[in-house]
Amino acid sequence: MNDVSPPVDPYQGYRALRDDAPICQLEAGGPWQISRHADVHQVLKDNETYSSEVSIRPPEERGQPTMLFSDPPLHHRLRKLVSTAFKPSHIERQADRITARAELLIKDLPRGKAVDLVTTLAAPLPVMVIAEMLGVEDGNLITFKNWSDAIFSNIGEILFGTPSAEAEQAALEMNGYFLEQIEAIRQSPQPHLLGRLIATKTEEGHLNNEELLSFCRLLLIAGNETTTGLITASARIFHEFPETLHAIRHNPELIPTFIEEALRYYSPFSATVRRTTRAVTLGGVEIPKGELLIPLIASANRDERVFDQAATFQIDRNPNPHLALGFGIHFCLGAHLARLEGKIAVQCLADQFESIRLADPSQTEVGGLGGPKAMNVVLT
Greater model confidence, 73 or 324 = 324
Greater model confidence, 59 or 328 = 328
Where is mean pLDDT largest: 38-52, 70-84, 184-198, 323-337? 38-52
pLDDT at 278 over 70: yes
Determine the Cα–Cα distance for residues 367 and 266; give it in Å rounded to an integer.
7
What is the average per-residue pLDDT within 155-165?
A: 62
What is the average per-residue pLDDT within 45-71?
A: 74
Of the listed ranges 66-75, 220-229, 269-278, the least confidently predicted one is 66-75
pLDDT tens by residue, 131-145: 888 888 878 888 888
Residue 7: the pLDDT is 47
pLDDT at 361 over 50: yes
pLDDT tens by residue, 333-345: 889 999 999 999 9
- pTM for the structure as a whole: 0.89
| Distances 198 to 129, 179, 184, 211 between C-alpha atoms, Å | 19, 12, 11, 10
Mean pLDDT of the chain, nearest integer: 88
Phi and psi torsions of 32, nearest 5° = -85, 130
Q: Given pLDDT bands bounded at 50, 70 and 90, which one contains residue 1?
A: very low
Contacts 24+ apart (CB under 8 A), 272-277: 272/44, 272/297, 272/326, 273/31, 273/52, 273/54, 273/159, 274/43, 274/44, 274/50, 274/51, 274/52, 274/54, 275/50, 275/51, 275/53, 275/54, 276/49, 276/50, 276/51, 277/48, 277/49, 277/50, 277/51
Of the listed ranges 156-160, 177-181, 365-369, the least confidently predicted one is 156-160
Determine the Cα–Cα distance for residues 356 and 371; give it in Å rounded to an integer.
18
| pLDDT cut 90: percent of the chain above it | 59
Nearest to 67 by CA among 170, 217, 264, 188: 217
Domains of the chain: 11-379 (1.10.630.10)
Phi and psi torsions of 315, nearest 5° = -60, -25
pLDDT tens by residue, 238-268: 999 999 999 999 999 999 999 999 999 999 9
Residue 202: the pLDDT is 64
> 204: which DSSP letter?
T
Q: H or E element: which one contains 219?
A: helix 209-240
> 369: which DSSP letter?
B
Q: Given pLDDT bands bounded at 50, 70 and 90, which one contains residue 118?
A: very high
Q: Is 146 exposed, middle or buried (0-12, 13-18, 19+ CB in 10 A)?
A: middle
Phi and psi torsions of 229, nearest 5° = -65, -35
pLDDT at 308 over 60: yes
Determine the Cα–Cα distance for residues 271 and 34; give it in Å rounded to an integer.
9
Nearest to 122 by CA among 102, 142, 138: 102
- 201 neighbors 80 (Cβ within 8 angstroms): no
pLDDT at 203 over 70: no
What is the average per-residue pLDDT within 292-318?
A: 98
Greater model confidence, 199 or 377 = 377
pLDDT tens by residue, 32-49: 999 999 999 999 999 999
Q: What angle do CA 83, 89, 94 make, to 5 degrees?
A: 100
pLDDT at 365 over 70: no
Distance between the two ends of the chain, CA-based, in angstroms?
33
| Distances 244 to 151, 226, 375 between C-alpha atoms, Å | 35, 21, 19
